[in-house]
Chains A and B, each alone.
Chain A
Amino acid sequence: MSVQYKVVHCNINGRAVERTVDVRASLTDMLRNDYSLTAVKKGCEVGECGACTVLIDGETFNSCIYLAIWAEGKHIVTLEGLISPEGELSDIQQAFIEETAIQCGFCTPGFLLTAKEILDADRMFTDDELRKMLSGHLCRCTGYENIFRAVKKTMYRRQGKEIDF
């Protein structure tokens, strides 16, 4: 059997790129192996844990169960894209540090991208809504409460509101 390849053009973290990829590759494979974006974690690789989450055209996807060839023409954001060109952390990353929302760190990149999607909606969500929106991630250290607080705190800050936990 001959290996099948395809040229995939897309925009990753604001940069237009193209690469010839093996059609059997997942988007996780492509981002990690071809673009060295190793914040995209390989967790369960069956779409259950959320560690490989990336934004595609503004929506969260498990990149492990997304074929690399489907990225053609898409805008993809990984954790590396959250840092400013000057290397400064984004508000949500800063909030994760403040709230100690990181233990082993393996789930963090995925959680941050879902948090970005939530925050980019630019509106207030109830606690129940936030929990539901964050439910596609497993934290093996079970540090969910601090992660929840970091996201909620940033949502309040962006809306110019005081938060009282």
Chain B
Amino acid sequence: MYDIKAIYEAESVEDAVELRLAHPEAQIIAGGSDVLVQIREGRRAGKELISIYGIDAMRGVSIDEEDNLRIGSLTSFSHITNNPLVKKICPVLGEAVDQIGSPQIRNIGTIGGNTCNGVTSADSASTLHAWEAIIELTGKNGIRRLPIKDFYIKAGTVDIRAEEGEIQTAVLIPKESYENTFGHYIKYGLRNAMEIATLGCSVNVRLSPDKRVIERCRIAYGVAGPVPMRAPSAEAVANGQAPTMALAEAFSLAVLEDINPRDSWRAAKAFRQHIAVEMAKRALIESVKRAGGEIA
């Protein structure tokens, strides 16, 4: 039995917004693979919960009228990985969330929960940053959209306004991000299953039509700072350049100007910096290959 004060079950998004306004102190629970564990630990014990798990309208992947890849916030990781649209348009996201926890966790965990947690180690977060995802929030005043980099405020805190009854309803990948774009995600952990990333690195590139120039490169990290982050200095090094080994080296070293990992029991700062460089290089090379280019 969980130590829960009360549970309010939302059956629709409107329902959830109303419940949120009526119970502003209540904790939202989606799949619960974090919230229930935190209740068991005592950290969130004795609180009121608003369960949104039953809102089926918030599940599924589609292309919306603006050509965004739209992922309902309650879509489970395994459903994202196996979704034909994700496989076609942004397979790296499916691959990234396929490295979370275990198969059972990937069946219950949701992309909304993974982002609303605000943790830097979330396996979806670096890829969503690298693809400039848009977070869709629904509240009493309707829909509010914001870039994912603005959604993360600080470790464990995201921009969701409880006083406006907001819940996250979708994660969007804009066409501008996915068109002709190919990416790769690398997770560094001490074991393959049931592991939180020591560092996560997601790179994507768009090559020129003749595949000889990197028109646009984006790179983002998880666990390289208190929140997931891009590495703009590295991107500037790669943009407009020919994909060569020398470029991959220069690009990967430039990430050190941007990232700010910490010492923790999982790994030392120096180690994280070391693997950040290697992961950037490998992920860039793989992204170029996936885009049909060759590393000279």
Partner-B contacts on A (CB < 8 A): 1, 4, 22-26, 29, 45-48, 50, 53, 59-62, 65-67, 69-70, 72, 114, 132-133, 135-137
Contacts and interface: CB of A to CB of B under 8 A. Distances in A.
Given A22-B1, A65-B33, A69-B9, A48 B103 contact: no
Nearest to A137: B102
A7 to B, nearest CB: 13
A59 to B, nearest CB: 5
A65 B108 contact: yes
A135 B105 CA distance: 11
Interface residues of B, number: 29
24 contacts: A4-B6, A23-B7, A24-B7, A25-B1, A26-B2, A26-B36, A45-B40, A46-B40, A47-B108, A50-B102, A60-B104, A61-B107, A62-B105, A65-B32, A67-B7, A67-B51, A67-B53, A72-B54, A114-B104, A132-B193, A133-B103, A136-B102, A136-B104, A136-B105
Contacts of A135: 102-103, 192-194
Interface in B31-46: 32-33, 36-37, 40-41
Contacts, number: 86
- Overall SS of chain B's interface: mixed
Given A46-B40, A69-B9, A70-B51, 16 more contacts: A1-B6, A4-B6, A23-B7, A24-B3, A50-B104, A60-B103, A65-B108, A67-B29, A67-B51, A72-B54, A114-B103, A132-B103, A132-B193, A135-B192, A135-B194, A136-B194
Nearest to A53: B104
Nearest to A4: B6
A101 to B, nearest CB: 18
Nearest to A60: B104
A65 B36 contact: yes
A70 B31 CA distance: 10
Nearest to B7: A23
B88 interface: no
Nearest to B54: A70
